[in-house]
Amino acid sequence: MARFSLPLLLLAALGAPLAAQVALPGVAVPRAGSVLGEVGDLTGQTLDRTARQARDLARSRLQRIDRLVRSNRSSIERDARGEPARRGELLLIDAGADALRTARGAGYRILETVELAELGFSVTRLQVPTGRDLDEAEEHLSALIPEAAFAPDNLHFPAGKTPALAITSAVSRSAPGGVAVGMIDGAPGKMVAVTGMRGFAAGAPYPSNHGSAVASLLASEHGGPIRVADVYGTDKAGGNALAIARGLGWLVGEGSRVVTISLVGPKNPVLERAIAAARRRGVVVVAAVGNDGPAAPPAYPASYDGVVAVTAVDGKRRALIEAGRALHLDYAAPGADIRAINAKGKRIRVRGTSFATPLVAARLARALQKGGDWREAIDREAVDLGRKGVDPVFGRGLVCGDCRGH
């Protein structure tokens, strides 16, 4: 269903037969020039307002990152691109013995090597030498071992993050058969039923309102198994690339055919490789475009090749003004005027692309359960919004348009 802009609607009215216009007593018919001038002014004002909102969202993102880094200097610092990452650590991908020997000789300490067997590669955590900032260490290691593939351990953030609450018991409940869906986020509270859960951060699993809301929305539309990888726990530097890669590996190994990720961060070679490996295993990854507005950098993991990127609309099917962007966009789903369950088990209103993403993941799992091409099935359901056909605001259309959560 296409939407028409205000200028188009007014032009349509001006193009109607004159009898139709003068049939309304007491209504003066304005000259076309004056109406178009007013429309132009209104359109300009709307564009200016939208541009200001986009700039404000982008500025807010930078301020939020700055506050995070300044208040957690012992665990977080900026990488060479200015993005937040785990302090004093670099990640080497599939490092050989010679590379590790060279790094050790230059003062880098090997903390551990993580074998991501399900994804077919390993990651070695290196501690940066004392007195060297992360951005300096990136430049130094690149010159020291030019053939090495490495990355900072970048942080990823949930939209609308809320305070976590103390857990009282483990969550592990059975679910009916069907396509297994994995979720990478914070842990849900005990009121949200999941099939299994595992932590990949200090203090995990530890329930969060964001993780609870995402899991509850997923469960509201998906009757099959749900497994959760908690990549936050109580870690100030939680949501890092290695934690997400480890969580993804576990979910793939447990048989998840769909994985939903309502987190946003910068491009990272470790996570990019992990997602590519999961896709080769036949797993469909669904990710949110974030809530930092259209002026923010492209969102990852939504922007990685083959990831199903999801944006959000409100109850009137309008795109959320704060919706971020990705290098591609697949679908929209309700992300406002819906309800979810928080960590205390209470129904709450939620807003953001984070909450649209599990709805698309659930629909995708349903399509996989029925067999055939899931893309064709989702496309048949999707309601065309905005410009006819695929567009950069709504992607291929609105999925789960009647979903309202709990």
Active site residue ranges: 185, 210, 354
Place of tokens 């994804």: 119
Burial of 309 (0-12, 13-18, 19+ CB in 10 A): buried
Which residues sit opposite 261 in a β-bridge?
A: 184, 287
312: its two tokens: 């959000």
Structural contact between residues 205 and 169, judged by C-beta atoms closer than 8 angstroms: no
Q: Give the chain's radius of gyration (CA, Å).
A: 24
Determine the residue type at 366.
R
C-alpha to C-alpha distance for 95 and 384, rounded to whole angstroms: 47
Sign of the CA dihedral with 204 first, then 208, 210, and 216 last: positive
Structural contact between residues 83 and 265, judged by C-beta atoms closer than 8 angstroms: yes
C-alpha dihedral over 99, 102, 108, 114, to 10 degrees?
A: 20
